[in-house]
Amino acid sequence: MAVEHEAVNKATKTSLELPSFMDLLGDLHHEVFGISLHHWVPIIMSLIVASILVAVTYYTTKDLKKIPQGMQAFLEVVIEGMQGFFGDILGSGASVFLPFVGSLFIYIYLMNIMGFIPFFHAPTSSPNTTIALAVIVFFITHYVGITRNGVVGYLKHFVGEPIWMAPLLFPIHIIGELARPLSLSMRLFGNIMGEDTAIAILVGLGVSLYFIPIQFPILLLGLLTTLIQAVVFTVLSSVYIGGAVGHHDEH
């Protein structure tokens, strides 16, 4: 165990990331429920984002007005924009799945943005967070496909046509479906982690250069890339869900 903890300490010290407010609380190598505090950081950051979303939604919707003002007006604009953007992709399933897809987009975008706040980390810079999101999308997609088409009808989708090509097409389709959560999660994780690493390096260089803030150009670019990554993840998720719904509509 001593060797393990020493290895973890070395890995953490060599990691290129800015300190979070949890680092100010002390040593992050202690374990809670068998998980080191260092690995609890993205979980806590994710919970902070979720709590903010719940609080804003609650206080905005508890007293809705016919003529929206303030935060209510802003949220209605955001929702209408997402309806127009994701509604075409989801097709006939837009009314059912838009709340999930819209919440997923806002949640991912806010988690990405957290990396720009001093003493906070972007939870999406951890593969655990992105894999969890991708797995949720994976199960929802196949749940929709099975409930809309039935087990046999949904499996026919993997067989393809002509039927004599089934021995070749079926395993290819299965591999493609299993690759979806991997590609979704690794794309989001890789981009956000790389962005945060670049910012941490530039901050370190800026400190060595008499505190010159040379990281600002990357921060401005990052504001755009964090939005793009949230859009890409959500659009692909919408395509997968819309494909499962659309397959049922074709029948």
**pLDDT tens-digit series, residues 205-227:** 765 555 566 667 777 887 888 99
Q: How many CA atoms lie within 13 A of 217 on its CB side?
A: 4
Overall average pLDDT of the 163-182 stretch: 80
Cβ pair 94, 211 in contact under 8 A: no
pLDDT score of 107:
95
pLDDT score of 3:
37
State what percent of residues in the chain have pLDDT above 90: 25
Q: Which residue has the higher pLDDT, 3 or 100?
A: 100
Kind plus residue range of the DSSP H or E element containing 36: strand 35-36
pLDDT score of 8:
37
pLDDT score of 137:
95
pLDDT at 108 over 60: yes
Residue 226 C-alpha from the chain's centroid: 10
pLDDT score of 1:
38
SS3 59: helix
pLDDT score of 207:
59
Q: 229-240: per-residue pLDDT in tens? A: 999 999 999 999
Separation of alpha carbons 226 and 188, rounded Å: 9
Residue 18 C-alpha from the chain's centroid: 21
Q: 175-188: per-residue pLDDT in tens? A: 888 899 999 999 99
Tokens of 163: 């039927």
Separation of alpha carbons 206 and 198, rounded Å: 12
